[in-house]
C-alpha cells in the first residue's frame, strides 16, 4: 500500500505527539524528525540486534544522516531478558560515550522490549531526554503509545518504570511484512483486546479479515493498526497516568503477565494475553457479568488468530496455580495482595473488579 500516511494525535502532559502509520516511513524518517527536533540534536538509535540483517538499521541511519549531524546506534539482544537494570546501565554508558546530553534524543527501533528499555533509559538519563518510538512488530502497537516505559526485576515484569511520552511514534507497516507468522499472531491479541474493551467494530473487522492480517496484507495491516492505535490514543489521552479508564487496557494481563513471567520462553506476550483474556472472561461469567455466547465468540476469534485459549493440563496442578496466584498478587493494580481484574460486561464495555475471591480464580484456572 502506498499513499499518504495516516496520523493520530495523542494528548500528553509532556506535550501532544503524533502517531504516523504508513509504508516507507523509515526512508522518510529524517523529514518527520526534523519537524520536532533540531538538526543539531544528537540521536542514538537503540535497536533489536536481529533487525540488522533486514537492513532496517542502515535504512534509518541513512535517512537520518541527511539532516542530522550526529547519529549513533546501539544494538540490544532480542528477548525479555534485555529489560533489566544491567542492560539499562549499558545504555547509559553508551549514551555517555557518544556524548549525548539533555538536548539529545533516543530512537527505539524494534518491538516492545526495545521500546520499554530505550524509553526507560531516555526517561532516566540526565533526568529525562527526548524519545521517539519506531516499532517494527505488530505487538508493539499497544506499548508504543501512552508513554509507559519499564524494565523488569526478578520478582516480576515492569516493576521499575516511568511515564515518559514519546515525541513521535513512526510506524512503517512494511516492517511488519517480514515478521514470522507467530509474531503477527501474537500482535493480534492486543488489537483483539482493544476491540473487546472499547470498539466492537474493530473486533468485527478482525473477525472478517484475520486471514489477510496474518498473511501480512499491507492494506489490512494499515487499517488494523490505525483503528487499534486510535483506541489506545483515545484512552491514554483521557487518562495518561492510569488513574481511571487506562486500567481497562490491562484486560487479559493480570493472568497473562503471570503466565508470561512463569513460563517465559514458552509463550509469547500475545499468547499469554490471549489465554488471560479467556480466563478473565470465564471469571466474568462466573460473576454473572457476561454470557457464554461472548466467551465462545472471543475464543473462536483467538483460535482463528492462531492463539492459545487454555493452559495445558500440566500447568493446572495445585502447585502451578499457587505460583500464578502469588504472581497476580504482586500485580501493579493489586492493593493489600488483592486479586484485581478487568472484566468484560459486553463487547466494547469492561469494568474494574478490585478484588475477586481466590476460590473463583482457582476454579477458573483449574477448569
213 is in an annotated binding site: no
315 is in an annotated binding site: no
Q: Is 127 a catalytic residue?
A: yes
Q: Is 269 a catalytic residue?
A: yes
| 42, 99 contact by CB (below 8 A) | yes
113 is in an annotated binding site: yes
Cβ neighbors of 197 (< 8 A, separation 6 or more) are 231, 248, 249, 251, 342, 344, 348, 349, 350
281 is in an annotated binding site: no
Q: How many residues does the chain have?
A: 367
214 is in an annotated binding site: no
209 is in an annotated binding site: no
23 is in an annotated binding site: no
| 239, 260 contact by CB (below 8 A) | no
Q: Which position among 141, 167, 253, 327 bears the catalytic label? A: 253
State how far the Cα of 113 lies from the Cα of 60, in Å rounded to an integer: 19
338 is in an annotated binding site: no
148 is in an annotated binding site: yes
Q: Is 66 a catalytic residue?
A: no
83 is in an annotated binding site: yes
Q: Which position among 40, 127, 318, 335 bears the catalytic label? A: 127
And the C-alpha cell for 36?
520536532
175 is in an annotated binding site: yes
112 is in an annotated binding site: yes
Strands 168-172 and 130-135: parallel
Distances in whole angstroms, Cα of residue 121 to Cα of each of 46, 81, 335, 357: 10, 15, 28, 38
Q: Is 353 a catalytic residue?
A: no
The owner of cell 530505550 is 118
Q: Is 253 a catalytic residue?
A: yes
176 is in an annotated binding site: yes
State how far the Cα of 305 lies from the Cα of 21, in Å rounded to an integer: 22
Q: Which position among 6, 18, 269, 282 bears the catalytic label? A: 269
Q: Which position among 87, 230, 240, 250 bears the catalytic label? A: 250
335 is in an annotated binding site: no
Q: Is 232 a catalytic residue?
A: yes
Tell me how far the alpha carbon of residue 223 is from its chain's centroid.
Answer: 18
249 is in an annotated binding site: no
Q: Is 167 a catalytic residue?
A: no
Q: Which position among 61, 183, 242, 280 bears the catalytic label? A: 242
| 190, 141 contact by CB (below 8 A) | yes
290 is in an annotated binding site: no
40 is in an annotated binding site: no
Q: Is 242 a catalytic residue?
A: yes
253 is in an annotated binding site: yes
Q: Which position among 246, 282, 289, 327 bears the catalytic label? A: 246
Closest C-alpha among 159, 151, 33, 46 to residue 94: 46
77 is in an annotated binding site: no
State how far the Cα of 141 lies from the Cα of 304, in Å rounded to an integer: 20
Q: Which position among 190, 240, 280, 295 bears the catalytic label? A: 190
Q: Which position among 230, 257, 282, 289 bears the catalytic label? A: 257
State how far the Cα of 365 lies from the Cα of 154, in Å rounded to an integer: 24
Q: Is 346 a catalytic residue?
A: no
And the C-alpha cell for 58?
542502515
| 221, 210 contact by CB (below 8 A) | no
Q: Which position among 18, 141, 148, 184 bears the catalytic label? A: 148
Tell me how far the alpha carbon of residue 262 is from its chain's centroid.
Answer: 19
Tell me how far the alpha carbon of residue 321 is from its chain's centroid.
Answer: 26
Q: Which position among 184, 232, 282, 327 bears the catalytic label? A: 232
Helix or strand (DSSP H, E) at 176: none
146 is in an annotated binding site: no
State how far the Cα of 141 lies from the Cα of 202, in Å rounded to an integer: 15
Give me the active site residues, please: 127, 148, 190, 232, 242, 246, 250, 253, 257, 269
Residue numbering of the annotated binding site for NAD(+): 78-83, 112-116, 136-137, 148, 157, 175-178
Known binding positions for Zn(2+): 190, 253, 269
Which residues carry a binding-site annotation? 78-83, 112-116, 136-137, 148, 157, 175-178, 190, 253, 269
Amino acid at each position: 500500500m502506498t499513499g499518504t500516511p495516516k496520523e493520530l494525535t495523542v494528548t500528553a502532559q509532556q506535550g501532544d505527539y503524533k502517531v504516523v502509520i504508513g509504508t516507507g516511513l523509515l526512508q522518510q524518517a529524517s523529514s518527520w524528525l526534523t519537524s520536532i527536533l533540531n538538526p543539531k540534536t544528537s540521536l542514538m538509535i537503540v535497536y533489536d540486534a536481529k533487525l540488522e540483517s533486514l537492513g532496517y538499521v542502515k535504512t534509518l541511519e541513512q535517512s537520518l544522516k541527511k539532516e542530522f549531524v550526529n547519529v549513533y546506534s546501539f544494538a540490544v539482544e532480542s528477548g525479555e531478558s534485555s529489560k533489566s537494570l544491567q542492560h539499562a546501565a549499558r545504555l547509559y554508558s553508551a549514551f555517555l560515550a557518544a556524548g549525548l546530553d539533555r538536548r539529545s534524543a533516543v530512537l527505539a527501533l524494534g518491538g516492545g522490549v526495545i521500546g520499554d528499555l530505550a524509553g526507560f533509559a531516555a526517561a532516566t538519563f540526565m533526568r529525562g531526554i527526548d524519545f521517539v518510538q519506531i516499532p517494527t512488530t505488530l505487538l508493539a502497537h499497544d506499548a508504543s503509545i501512552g508513554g509507559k516505559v519499564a524494565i523488569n526485576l526478578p520478582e516480576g515484569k515492569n516493576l521499575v518504570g516511568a511515564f515518559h511520552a514519546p515525541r513521535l511514534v513512526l510506524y512503517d507497516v512494511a516492517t511488519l511484512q517480514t515478521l514470522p507468522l507467530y509474531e503477527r499472531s501474537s500482535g493480534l491479541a492486543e488489537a483483539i483486546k482493544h476491540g473487546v474493551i472499547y470498539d466492537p467494530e474493530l473486533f468485527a473487522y478482525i473477525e472478517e479479515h484475520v486471514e489477510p492480517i496474518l498473511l501480512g496484507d499491507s492494506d489490512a495491516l494499515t487499517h488494523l493498526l490505525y483503528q487499534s492505535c486510535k483506541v489506545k490514543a483515545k484512552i491514554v489521552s483521557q487518562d495518561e497516568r492510569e488513574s481511571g479508564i487506562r486500567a481497562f487496557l490491562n484486560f487479559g494481563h493480570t493472568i497473562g503477565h503471570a503466565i508470561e513471567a512463569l513460563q517465559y520462553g514458552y509463550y509469547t506476550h500475545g499468547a499469554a494475553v490471549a489465554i488471560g483474556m479467556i480466563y478473565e472472561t470465564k471469571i466474568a461469567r462466573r460473576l454473572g457479568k457476561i454470557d457464554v455466547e461472548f466467551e465462545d465468540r472471543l475464543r473462536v476469534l483467538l483460535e482463528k488468530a492462531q492463539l492459545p485459549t487454555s493452559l495445558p493440563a500440566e500447568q493446572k496442578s495445585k502447585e502451578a496455580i499457587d505460583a500464578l496466584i502469588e504472581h497476580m498478587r504482586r500485580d501493579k493494580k493489586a492493593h493489600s495482595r488483592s486479586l484485581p481484574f478487568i472484566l468484560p460486561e459486553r463487547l466494547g464495555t469492561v469494568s474494574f473488579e478490585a478484588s475477586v475471591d481466590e476460590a473463583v480464580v482457582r476454579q477458573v484456572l483449574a477448569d
